[in-house]
């Protein structure tokens, strides 16, 4: 099993500030280590054996931790090993895209217990999108396991809009005009009786990469989501960089051509107008007369078909992919010069092409950067695939709960004595 090196993305973003208690620190240590003895906890957390024993008694009462056999002796009696119970709670992760909804249920170690994904015009149909989200949540909860409802820890939601963490109930009216500034998901999911935590989809893609994917152990990296729109989550010194009002990292609206096509943000020639899904569809249609034999010469010009055709070395598809690589490379070069990340992770369907996209992209970025910065940056595709953003949404809740275990309902009961 993968060791998780104590990630702390957005650590200060959730809930009322509260100084971490000793019990929180011990629970986190047991989660990190998965199996650990009381003596080892005392040593690692610099606590007395009696303090550790008291805390462990409380944690055993929550069901989050159990005694699981004996470990190796360091001289003397073999110690009892404590184990974190990954199945003691469930988390819902929702990826609300501009043109799809994906829902997963995970355990407390990011394992996906149930998942569902449906294409939908989310951007233009808030009523239908809310109904779809609710249906997929109920389906996943029914499929995951019967205890999921009673041990549910929380719901994390990724939205294709900047999120100002001071007003997480709001959506950007520019990114999602039909939604009139509100997602309304807290009300939609209120009967579940658990916190609903919201963040931008690219930020949550970055969180998923740091906990479970290609950015494990990295404190400086960027995740770029290439979908209907283009978004980026920047992790700097181990934290998501949000900027002054939550729109930090909106690489999709960096101008590539100041005289280019008009973007939905009202400006011209943004990166999204070159590599967003609608732009790729338009490019496929425009290139059809040039490549009449192409696999894409007929049928819907979707990104899914583009990816399949590129895998088969279809010349039209390869030309579009090379153009994407060129435009992304220009934007990423600017980012490398500004932020010098250790890695840039690319997510979204087209990133599934791997080196076919990334080799030319890397070449473009290298040509346009201050070379020492770029040469040290790894550019690679996400390994988490299509559930990556939903997994990040679930991880938002897991991260919050491990920092404030009152979110784990059994822990709250033990503390209040009720």
Where does this chain bind Zn ion (CB under 5 A)?
253, 263, 265, 267, 270
Closest contact distance (angstroms) between CB of 278 and Zn ion is: 12
The nearer residue to Zn ion, 267 or 319, going by C-beta atoms, is: 267
Q: Which H or E run includes 61? A: helix 49-62
The nearer residue to Zn ion, 85 or 124, going by C-beta atoms, is: 124
Supply 141's token pair. 């909860």
The nearer residue to Zn ion, 263 or 295, going by C-beta atoms, is: 263
Decide: 99 and 123 in contact? Cβ < 8 Å: yes
The pair phi, psi for residue 141, each rounded to 5°, is -65, -40
Torsion-angle region of 279 (φ positive above 0: left; ψ -120 to 50: alpha; else: beta): alpha
The nearer residue to Zn ion, 238 or 269, going by C-beta atoms, is: 269
Closest contact distance (angstroms) between CB of 252 and Zn ion is: 6
Closest contact distance (angstroms) between CB of 268 and Zn ion is: 8
Closest contact distance (angstroms) between CB of 279 and Zn ion is: 11
Can you spell out the DSSP letters for 346-415? Answer: EESGGGGGTHHHHHHHHHHHHHTS-HHHHHT-EEEE-SS-TTHHHHHHHHHHHHHHHH-GGGSHHHHHHH
Closest contact distance (angstroms) between CB of 322 and Zn ion is: 23
Closest contact distance (angstroms) between CB of 260 and Zn ion is: 10
> Which spans in 213-314 are helix H?
272-275, 277-287, 303-311
The nearer residue to Zn ion, 270 or 310, going by C-beta atoms, is: 270
Residue 363: alpha-carbon gap to chain centroid: 27
The nearer residue to Zn ion, 195 or 260, going by C-beta atoms, is: 260
CA-nearest of 209, 226, 229 to 391 is 209
């Amino acid at each position: 099993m993968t060791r998780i090196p104590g990630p702390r993305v957005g650590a200060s973003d959730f809930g009322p500030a509260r100084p971490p208690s000793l019990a929180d620190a011990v629970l986190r240590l047991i989660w990190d280590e998965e199996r650990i003895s009381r003596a080892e906890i005392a040593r690692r957390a610099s606590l007395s054996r009696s303090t550790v024993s008291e805390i462990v008694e409380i944690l055993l009462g929550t069901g989050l931790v159990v005694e699981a056999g004996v470990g190796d002796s360091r001289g003397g009696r073999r110690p009892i090993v404590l184990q974190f119970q990954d199945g003691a709670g469930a988390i819902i992760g929702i990826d609300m895209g501009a043109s799809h909804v994906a829902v997963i249920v995970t355990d407390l170690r990011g394992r996906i217990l149930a998942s569902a994904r449906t294409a939908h015009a989310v951007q233009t149909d808030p009523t239908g999108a809310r109904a779809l989200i609710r249906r997929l949540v109920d389906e996943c909860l029914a499929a995951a396991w019967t205890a999921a409802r009673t041990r549910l820890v929380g719901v994390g939601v990724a939205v294709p809009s900047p999120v100002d963490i001071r007003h997480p109930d709001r959506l950007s009216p520019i990114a999602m005009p039909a939604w009139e500034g509100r997602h309304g998901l807290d009300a939609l999911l209120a009967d579940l009786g658990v916190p609903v935590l919201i963040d931008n989809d690219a930020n949550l893609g970055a969180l998923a990469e740091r906990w479970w994917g290609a950015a494990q152990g990295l404190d400086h990296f960027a995740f770029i989501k290439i979908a209907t729109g283009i978004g980026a989550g920047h992790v700097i010194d181990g934290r998501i960089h949000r900027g002054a009002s939550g729109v930090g990292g909106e690489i999709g609206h960096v101008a590539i051509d100041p005289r280019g096509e008009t973007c939905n943000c009202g400006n011209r020639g943004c990166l999204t107008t070159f590599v967003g899904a609608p732009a790729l569809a338009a490019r496929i249609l425009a290139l059809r007369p040039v490549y009449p034999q192409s696999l894409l010469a007929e049928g819907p010009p979707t990104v899914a078909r583009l990816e399949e055709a590129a895998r088969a070395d279809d010349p039209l598809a390869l030309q579009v992919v090379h153009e994407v690589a060129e435009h992304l490379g220009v934007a990423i070069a600017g980012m490398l010069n500004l932020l010098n990340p250790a890695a840039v992770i690319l997510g979204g369907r087209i990133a599934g092409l791997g080196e076919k996209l990334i080799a030319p992209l890397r070449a473009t970025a290298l040509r346009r950067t201050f070379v020492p910065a770029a040469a040290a940056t790894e550019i690679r595709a996400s390994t988490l695939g299509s559930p990556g953003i939903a997994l990040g949404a679930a991880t938002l809740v897991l991260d919050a709960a491990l920092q404030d275990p009152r979110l784990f309902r059994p822990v709250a009961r033990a503390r209040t004595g009720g």
